[in-house]
Amino acid sequence: MTGPTHDPALGVAVIGYSFMGRAHSNAWRNVGAFHPDLPAVRQQVLVGRDGTAVKEAAAHLGWRESATDWRSVLDREDVDLVDICTPGDSHHEIALAALAAGKHVLVEKPLANSVAQAAELAAAARDARARGQRAMVGFNYRRVPALALARRLVAQGRIGTVRQVRVAYLQDWLVDAGAPMTWRLRRESAGSGVLGDLGSHAVDQVHALLGEPVTNASGHLRTFVPERDGPDGPEPVTVDDAAWARLGTASGAVASLEVSRMATGCKNSLTIEVYGDRGALRFDLERLNELQLLDPDESGPDGFRRVLATEPDHPYLDAWWPPGHVLGWDHTFTNQAADLLTAIGEGTDPVPSFDDGLAVQRVLAAIEASAADSGRSAAVPTEED
């Protein structure tokens, strides 16, 4: 065990150094520069299985050191916060151990690979909360200023009572049937396919925008390419390539969801539409600083107007640039880190919590259950159930 440090900054360990590990590393490197009033952080250690590769990544991404064993990191007194950016099959084990070790925890979405694992993590996070620990799920799109503004406008009643929501999250990196096998296409490592990968973001946005949980779901899953070449030859693809769902809420709002990694020409297309009885909102991630607003009090007969979400009074913008200077996808992770640090500093509960992650997992499971039952509607259980 490393001895105690006199550095008052929170020591951070990120587990995983690929795509998400890089994005989170960039956030921890920059959060203090733009949020100097929050608890300071120290990029203590980056963890990965390949010692040479993780050491090189740590040097590039600003970490003091690297390690290959995540378990040894949890014993260290110079690590206060553990950020888990590994494939979903390890989230449960690492997060449980980190909470038991007294650390604050951030877990990339989805929270876990099953409802049972997510429920156990949520319970552990509630117990840890009593010890002053904070746990959060990394749904970074909640930190897009335009989407945070959309949530504010819905909550304010600016578009009236929401009746319909449409969410489509489309990518095309698996269109080529010759694309090789990856861990994301194996159920044992990924839990599910595009439903858990992109669908978790979509469901979380429905929860966040409506401010209420999904209560029932019907779905359809499709695997277009059932076999791909792996390191030892052809392997069966055991997860979904695309998914469709209809989601309902207690208030009567209905959401349609479509996610795919087979949508030719779509690199990272997330579009969201919210229709109320007085107005509407539209968002496109490829124009992530913009929100289209139909507000009868302001838009008049001309329909939707463009809101450039870069004003100081818009969510998250007070820490960044002058009006009109747009932010990017990477800024969402810095905003996410700032929100977690705010909760740690104030002793409040961060959002989305592990309970929020569990709620998403229950919806995903209901969609899968419906798909396995010819699309019949499936109830989404609640904590009371």
Task: Quote the pLDDT of residue 7.
Answer: 76
Helix/strand/coil for 168 = strand
Burial of 223 (0-12, 13-18, 19+ CB in 10 A): middle
The model carries a pTM of 0.95
Q: What is the CA radius of gyration of the chain?
A: 21
β-pairing verdict for 214-222 and 227-230: unpaired
Separation of alpha carbons 298 and 186, rounded Å: 49
How do the pLDDT tens digits run along the chain, 385 residues long? 444 455 799 999 999 999 999 999 999 999 999 999 999 999 999 999 999 999 999 999 999 999 999 999 999 999 999 999 999 999 999 999 999 999 999 999 999 999 999 999 999 999 999 999 999 999 999 999 999 999 999 999 999 999 999 999 999 999 999 999 999 999 999 999 999 999 999 999 999 999 999 999 999 999 999 999 999 999 999 999 999 999 999 999 999 999 999 999 999 999 999 999 999 999 999 999 999 999 887 756 568 999 999 999 999 999 999 999 999 999 999 999 999 999 999 999 999 999 999 999 999 999 999 999 999 999 999 876 6
Separation of alpha carbons 360 and 341, rounded Å: 23
* Sheet bearing 280-284, strands edge to edge: 305-308, 290-294, 280-284, 269-276, 162-170, 254-260, 242-249, 214-222, 378-379
Give Cα separations from 196 to 122, 192, 225, 362 (angstroms): 18, 5, 18, 11
Task: Quote the pLDDT of residue 384.
Answer: 66
Separation of alpha carbons 135 and 266, rounded Å: 33
Separation of alpha carbons 104 and 132, rounded Å: 9
- Domains assigned to the chain: 10-139 (3.40.50.720), 141-332+348-378 (3.30.360.10)
